[in-house]
Structure 1
Amino acid sequence: MPIGTRPLHGNGLTSAHAHTHFFGAGKIQELRSELVSDKRDSKYAKKKAVLKRIVANMTMGNDMSPLFPDVIACLSIPNLEVKKMVYLYVTNYCRSKPEMARMAAPYFEKDVNDANPLIRALAIRSMGYIHIDRVVDGFCDPLRHCLRDPDPYVRKTAAVGVAKLFMHDPSLAESEGFLEILRNMLGDSNPAVVSNAVAALVEISERSPNYQLEMSMSTANRLANVLNECSEWGQGYILEALLYAVPQELGEAELLAERVVSRLQHANSFVVLATVKLLVYLLNYMSREEDVKGFSTKLGPPLISLLSHGPEVQYVALRNILLIIQKYPEMLHADVHTFFCKYDEPIYIKLSKLEIIFRLATEDNAREVLSELREYASEIDVDFVRRAVRCIGRLGIKLEQSSQMCIALLLELIQTRVSYVVQEAVIVMKDIFRRYPNQYENVIPILCENLDDLDQPEAKVAMVWIIGQYAERVDNAEGILESFVDTFKEEHTEVQLALLTAAVKLFLKRPAAGQELVPKLLKWATEEVDNPDLRDRGFIYWRLLSTNPAAAKSIILSDKPEISTEADHMDPVMLEELLLHIASLSSIYHKSPAMFINGAKIRTLPVSQVLNTRTTPVS
């Protein structure tokens, strides 16, 4: 919810949805006559009724602006409910009818000095919404007065008003000294005032290109002390603000972490994730490995507890867990079973869990994980089955000692002859051959038995690559490639490129077997195909083979670098930034805020003499 906004119910205004009888045609003249009627009106009941009708019609999109003078006149009525409806009306039309909004300025200035603190707060809140010159010009003095109001409700409302003023006119807010007043309010005796002041400062710091919130460790510890007295909303903002405190001495990060770690047990998921973000930030300033391991281990149980919430909260938790375990994998290594999928979970939950399972898999739990993935490979959801089979192959690359188990499972899945399972298995087998050259070629005949099941370009590319790479060991390599060549001109470009390379490899390894196939493909690639990549590759191969066969052999048959799962690791700089955005859209998208929000600031770890330089995961 944006700063300073409150639902109508929270202001005491009856929900329009709860009283549909107020939604009528609302003829302007009829409403006006009722509004200006001088009949006896006990406790302003009639005025309230007609104002509710006006607000209801306004909410439904009917133009009630012709009633502006008559509605504004109701501000003279000393009744809080009436004033709430009138101010709601004014703020709704202030942008489209600025000349009318100016008519309300005298009433605002009067109400900020009202004896009732609720009316003072209502007036200062409403003024913050109206960005009309006369209202803004008259806003500074009442705002300054309300920031020092004896009533905490008025002070906390005024604190949010500073943020609204800053968004409209940053230079005015700074020149009038409001930012300094806000900083002083961090020491207010009322926790609600402190949390609103913190919220305003954080919002200003995040949105302003020129202002950066800075916080001493003494201020940070003072804010940590008031956490227990704040609302859930206030706790979240205070925890967010503590990220602006930079430990400078040994032990400061550990002390602050100890003060907030109890928030991990909070019932509110927002507070839990805000605490997780703060602790992950503070881990960067802890010097002793035992402290880093101790606090990182404490992050696991509360994150797992979030998986008992609804699917939306689960998804947010899973996406954040996926970030954290890339730097602190030991945090959940013993809990991989927690992320095993349930049959009735939404697909987005299952896919997120599958990625976490892959990252938490080790040689110790490989058998348990593979057994679970075997179950997933027999589910109904085709996309999930594909991901599960691919995950098995990735584990075969990641876990060298368990690769034999992974390959055995893949071969078992191939025997099912389920088309999409076979195709995914072929795709990942190609990567396994790259990872372990000359070790598992005995499975190639089994793969060749399933050629008829391959209809996807990626699967065909994988199979063709395998045949070309091991052409000297596949007895019928030329026959297999010929079966693909029959549809060469209709194949996807990637398949055509793979066929061309595989045929040349066959020719270089077994000239007699490829001497008819290669000229045919080279002629098609250079004369009858429009794709420039395919044509260029054809010309390169042709010239290499015709001018320097030895060079062709050394280039085309050169040893390929072994592949690994390193490509699955996020860039360390990006990971550090995303860890500072836990519990935000950025941590769900796994993208920097600057990539989808104009003007968003890039967060980095502030330099400090106790900032550690750990770039590899803690083990």
Structure 2
Amino acid sequence: MPYLGGKEAVKELRRALSNPNIQADPLRYRNTVLRVIRMMSQGADVSSLFSEMVKACATVDVVQKKLVYIFLCSYATLNPELSLLVVNTLRKDCQDPNPMVRSLALRSMTNLRLPSLVEYVEQPLTAGLRDRAACVRRVAVLGWAKLSNLQPAADLDAAVVNELYSLLRDPDPVVVVNCLRALEEILKEEGGVVINKPITHHLLKRLKDCDVWGQCEVLRVLQRYRPQSDDELFDILSLLDPSLVSPHPPVMAATLSLFLSLCSDLPAVSLAALERVRGPLLSACGSSSREMRFAALCHVQLLLRSVPGLLGEHYKRFFCGYAEPAFIKQRKMQVLVELVNDDNVGMLLDELKGYCTDVSMDTAQTAIAAIGHIGRSYSDRSLEILTGLLTLKQEHITSAVVQTMRDLVWVCPQCSDTVCSALEGCEETLQDDQGRQALLWLLGVYGERLTSAPYTLEVFIDGVRSEASLGVKMELLTAAVRLFLTRPAEMQDMLGRLLHFCIEEERDMCVRDQALLYYRLLHCGIEETRKVLQGRRSDPSLGVLIGRQAEPISQWASSFNTMDALKKAAVETETASRGSPEHVATKLKADLDLPKTLDCCPDDALHSVHHRLVVSKPWLCVTSLSRLPYWFQREAVHP
């Protein structure tokens, strides 16, 4: 037997399709056509059989017609001239007594997508709009949308648009929805289908007859309409109320989105609508579909931004299941952080503590970060759990705990004593860059409270030659200089060795320039160095979880039931790659005068410039612009 996709196989099929004996046997003829379709679906090039397949469409066998039409639609663009041969057969089939054949012929004619055939397709499509069979009208309506892509919209007859508008009152709900989609496509340059009061009320009354996706389409289009009076608005809301508690999550979400759009000036009504969807939204969060659960959780986070207590009583519904994927577990933990209060904080922390030892490292680290977020309001309980996790001596857990403690003391400085007492000995477990950067920041800022801080830094300094991480080296430099300011006797020799290596032997320009900065800054005097490096140790202005002011619904209403909700609903957290919490980008003044030369002596210019700079960019105080890396120069020149 010839190879399935080879030239010999194609020649054999051509001989079979042209064989009068096979053509006389309907079953053998259909099987031969089926072999052609099978080869086409497997990637073989059978376009050379186009003329034989055109002849095969002249049959009363509906199955064979469908197979041939699939072939013709696939290869019509490669054989535009031969495609004219099949038009007469298709137009003839459009008048067949069988509505299935008529709809199949119409669909195939529009799927040929050849501009040269538009004039032959218009008349059957116009007749199809008035066909007595609903399946033919459905295809004809969508056919006009396809036809609008083959010719400019201006060439479409206005009577066709009027006909489509009239079909919005068709008894078949699928035809109604297809008309909306077709008009959206045809009139996209004019803003889409025009929705007025009669159309709006008609669509709302027919809403229950549509399927799930049809209802979503209708509700999406209705967002363009604005009621003329309050009475009309509440009439529309009354018609929408049953859909607000629909068991189908897409319908519920589309209805709520329409509610929020119509009630943008009525916050009380919007809040009442959010209360109404609580049950369906919780059901969606427990859906068997993972994708549905994830989307529902993202939308829950949006709602909690305006109504923090909306789901407080149902926090157990967001506990993670063992078999759930990691991305759903992480999203649920973010929701649990938003639901914490005085009554459930103990149970939530115990639940999150169990997730900290999950087999998935990402899940465990997310749970630890969630405990840290809760620690903004309940620091004692959270620190007790975090300190206990350090005793497990697991690398990824220790790293996440140290990073969480660093972020926690930045927001809650009263936790610094507990954090400092818990850091003893954890440097032996840390291996990843982010964890070591967090530890170095804590040692630099709170090193005067840690007896072993200089000796811990000495281990890092002794291994700086083999250190591969740029972030760790730069954080080590900052920590060493900071600790030198509080414990000079113990740090003087170590700091000298570190600066000598970074200036004389280090190849990375960022590390070398930062070392030069600190070296020259120290030459300017201890007090000047202290002003630059010993700035604020915390930022309590970031706030706590409990008692936050609710956001207006209008801030996120436009994102509801869109893909933006999957991105905007994430809890705002700092990226794990940063080394210090105070590294927040701030803009310099455009008229800032920078020194033109390097000066190792303190002077008035240095002191005045220092007060005009932010702590996050201290290097601009003492170093020449020409000595900075290119991106620092660009940032200074173009703030």
* TM-score bracket, shorter-length normalisation: 0.7 to 0.9
Task: Supply the AA of the counterpart residue of 1:422.
Answer: T
The residue aligned with 1:421 is 397
250, 256, 267: which one pairs with 1:279?
A: 256
CA deviation profile, 1:62-96 (whole Å, cap 9, x unmatched): 44444433432344434533432332221122123
CA deviation profile, 1:561-584 (whole Å, cap 9, x unmatched): 516379999999995543251xx5
Task: Supply the AA of the counterpart residue of 1:160.
Answer: L
* Per-residue deviation, 1:279: 1.0
CA deviation profile, 1:91-113 (whole Å, cap 9, x unmatched): 12212322222221222333334
Partners of 1:265 and 1:573 in 2: CA distance: 22
The residue aligned with 1:184 is 166
DSSP-derived class of the 1:77 partner? coil
> Are 1:525 and 1:538, in contact at CA under 8 Å, matched by a contact in 2?
yes
Partners of 2:291 and 2:72 in 1: CA distance: 37
1:245 corresponds to 2:225: yes
256, 275, 297: which one pairs with 2:275?
A: 297
- CA spacing shift, 1:493–1:68, aligned 2, 3 Å: closer
> Are 2:413 and 2:538, in contact at CA under 8 Å, matched by a contact in 1?
no
1:108 corresponds to 2:90: yes
* Per-residue deviation, 1:143: 2.0
The residue aligned with 2:490 is 513
DSSP-derived class of the 2:230 partner? coil
Task: Supply the AA of the counterpart residue of 1:259.
Answer: L
Task: Supply the AA of the counterpart residue of 2:372.
Answer: G
The residue aligned with 1:472 is 448
> Are 1:140 and 1:176, in contact at CA under 8 Å, matched by a contact in 2?
no
- CA spacing shift, 1:265–1:245, aligned 2, 3 Å: same
> Are 1:506 and 1:513, in contact at CA under 8 Å, matched by a contact in 2?
no
Partners of 1:308 and 1:440 in 2: CA distance: 43
How many matched pairs? 555
The residue aligned with 1:594 is none
- Taking the TM superposition and a 5 Å limit, the aligned residue runs for 1:93-132 are 93-132=75-114
525, 546, 555: which one pairs with 2:502?
A: 525
1:496 corresponds to 2:473: yes
* Per-residue deviation, 1:180: 4.4
CA deviation profile, 1:472-525 (whole Å, cap 9, x unmatched): 222333222112111123331111111111111122223333322333222222
Partners of 1:56 and 1:172 in 2: CA distance: 41
* Per-residue deviation, 1:557: 0.8
> Are 1:173 and 1:179, in contact at CA under 8 Å, matched by a contact in 2?
no
Task: Supply the AA of the counterpart residue of 2:460.
Answer: F
- Taking the TM superposition and a 5 Å limit, the aligned residue runs for 1:525-604 are 525-560=502-537, 562=539, 564=542, 575-581=556-562, 587-588=565-566
DSSP-derived class of the 1:448 partner? coil
> Are 2:204 and 2:240, in contact at CA under 8 Å, matched by a contact in 1?
yes
* Per-residue deviation, 1:303: 2.3
Task: Supply the AA of the counterpart residue of 2:242.
Answer: S
Name the Cα RMSD after superposition. 3.3
Partners of 1:35 and 1:481 in 2: CA distance: 91
The residue aligned with 2:601 is none
200, 209, 213: which one pairs with 1:229?
A: 209
After the TM superposition, which of the residue ranges 191-200 and 439-448 deviates more from structure 2? Answer: 439-448
The residue aligned with 1:6 is none
> Are 2:212 and 2:251, in contact at CA under 8 Å, matched by a contact in 1?
no
Partners of 1:396 and 1:317 in 2: CA distance: 26
> Are 2:259 and 2:273, in contact at CA under 8 Å, matched by a contact in 1?
no
Partners of 1:214 and 1:88 in 2: CA distance: 35
1:54 corresponds to 2:54: no
* Per-residue deviation, 1:448: 1.7
Q: Which runs of 5+ in 2 are unaligned?
A: 1-7, 570-639
> Are 2:257 and 2:557, in contact at CA under 8 Å, matched by a contact in 1?
no
The residue aligned with 1:349 is 328
- Taking the TM superposition and a 5 Å limit, the aligned residue runs for 1:23-422 are 27-34=12-19, 39=24, 44-171=26-153, 174=156, 178-202=160-184, 208=188, 211-247=191-227, 249-250=229-230, 252=232, 254-263=234-243, 266=246, 269=248, 272-286=249-263, 287-306=265-284, 307-397=286-376, 400=377, 402-422=378-398
- CA spacing shift, 1:159–1:506, aligned 2, 3 Å: same
* Per-residue deviation, 1:430: 0.7
CA deviation profile, 1:260-284 (whole Å, cap 9, x unmatched): 34335555x4xx2243133134224
* Per-residue deviation, 1:357: 1.9
- In the superposition, the TM-score normalised over structure 2's length comes to 0.78
* Per-residue deviation, 1:590: 5.6
> Are 1:111 and 1:123, in contact at CA under 8 Å, matched by a contact in 2?
yes
Partners of 1:244 and 1:228 in 2: CA distance: 20
Task: Supply the AA of the counterpart residue of 2:206.
Answer: V
> Are 1:130 and 1:136, in contact at CA under 8 Å, matched by a contact in 2?
no
* Per-residue deviation, 1:425: 0.9
Partners of 1:428 and 1:478 in 2: CA distance: 22
CA deviation profile, 1:294-343 (whole Å, cap 9, x unmatched): 21122222122232313343233333433443444443232221111111
CA deviation profile, 1:107-154 (whole Å, cap 9, x unmatched): 233333444433332222111111213212322232223223343322
Partners of 1:533 and 1:281 in 2: CA distance: 53
Partners of 1:96 and 1:360 in 2: CA distance: 60
Q: Which runs of 5+ in 1 are unaligned?
A: 1-23, 592-619
* Per-residue deviation, 1:405: 0.9
- CA spacing shift, 1:408–1:573, aligned 2, 3 Å: same
After the TM superposition, which of the residue ranges 73-82 and 474-483 deviates more from structure 2? Answer: 73-82
Partners of 1:472 and 1:231 in 2: CA distance: 68
Partners of 1:66 and 1:572 in 2: CA distance: 61
After the TM superposition, which of the residue ranges 67-76 and 379-388 deviates more from structure 2? Answer: 67-76
Q: Which has the higher contact order (CA 8 A, sep 6+)?
A: 1
Partners of 1:351 and 1:411 in 2: CA distance: 22
Partners of 1:383 and 1:119 in 2: CA distance: 55
> Are 1:162 and 1:173, in contact at CA under 8 Å, matched by a contact in 2?
no
After the TM superposition, which of the residue ranges 350-359 and 105-114 deviates more from structure 2? Answer: 105-114
> Are 2:220 and 2:258, in contact at CA under 8 Å, matched by a contact in 1?
no
> Are 1:35 and 1:50, in contact at CA under 8 Å, matched by a contact in 2?
no
- CA spacing shift, 1:28–1:566, aligned 2, 3 Å: farther
> Are 1:202 and 1:241, in contact at CA under 8 Å, matched by a contact in 2?
no
- CA spacing shift, 1:550–1:204, aligned 2, 3 Å: farther
> Are 1:242 and 1:278, in contact at CA under 8 Å, matched by a contact in 2?
no
Task: Supply the AA of the counterpart residue of 2:436.
Answer: K
> Are 2:216 and 2:254, in contact at CA under 8 Å, matched by a contact in 1?
no
- CA spacing shift, 1:549–1:179, aligned 2, 3 Å: farther
> Are 2:506 and 2:512, in contact at CA under 8 Å, matched by a contact in 1?
yes
Partners of 1:527 and 1:566 in 2: CA distance: 46
- CA spacing shift, 1:566–1:46, aligned 2, 3 Å: farther
DSSP-derived class of the 1:338 partner? helix
Partners of 2:389 and 2:416 in 1: CA distance: 17
Task: Supply the AA of the counterpart residue of 2:301.
Answer: L
